[in-house]
Structure 1
């Protein structure tokens, strides 16, 4: 028969290969697991499209006030003078860390050019600001419109 302690040694010998096979099976299962799904990136607002210089000029020319001024200049001069938007400085002006094109609406006459208003058009987004030439203050388009209408009403 078996000597004392022989059975436990025999069982121990049987358990070693079983434990080895079990650990290999577990290791194999761990390798076959699909990778964890990627965490969604932090939600960022989509970047606003960049506005080109030509688009900025077109946005100023599309303002109703500028259209009216252009028509008045053409009509008043019988075609001798024209309204135009020109770039004051090719370097963008930074306001609150945001770059703006520096544009002016001018009355273009043969003998001279007369500036009517200076605009700052955001390179990204829809912002248009107006610069007050007398005070160098910058105001919103809606504030400028209120001021223009008040001036027009007083001059009548």
Structure 2
């Protein structure tokens, strides 16, 4: 799926209010990363500092800090769970998030507390695209901005 030159793979779940994607793994954990729109919004990412493995993460609370050109921001989880792993390669080379946000640039793995309930709050397909389109409209997103070029 594509929206304003940005890719949104249709096999993922999305939390547009958090600019995140989530992938359900076979071991019932979730892999979480920054969406293409999150990358476009932040621009070049210079650092990712995750919370410690084993830490309990509450819904809408930080699982780490993302530092980019002009500021830093808390990466907030859309669901509650236990942080079971962070991507050490991204900690060493944060540019991976911008280069491959849906692959090697994943950020954390989470063991969700109540996945059945939490999954209902996440979006897929056209609903996810519509929600990202609305965020882009509200944010005044310009796909021709230089910061977006790296994502094409």
Instruction: Write 1 or 2 for the structure with the bigger share of strand.
Output: 2
Q: In terms of Rg, which structure is larger?
A: 1
By relative contact order (CA 8 Å, sep 6+), the higher-ranking structure is 2
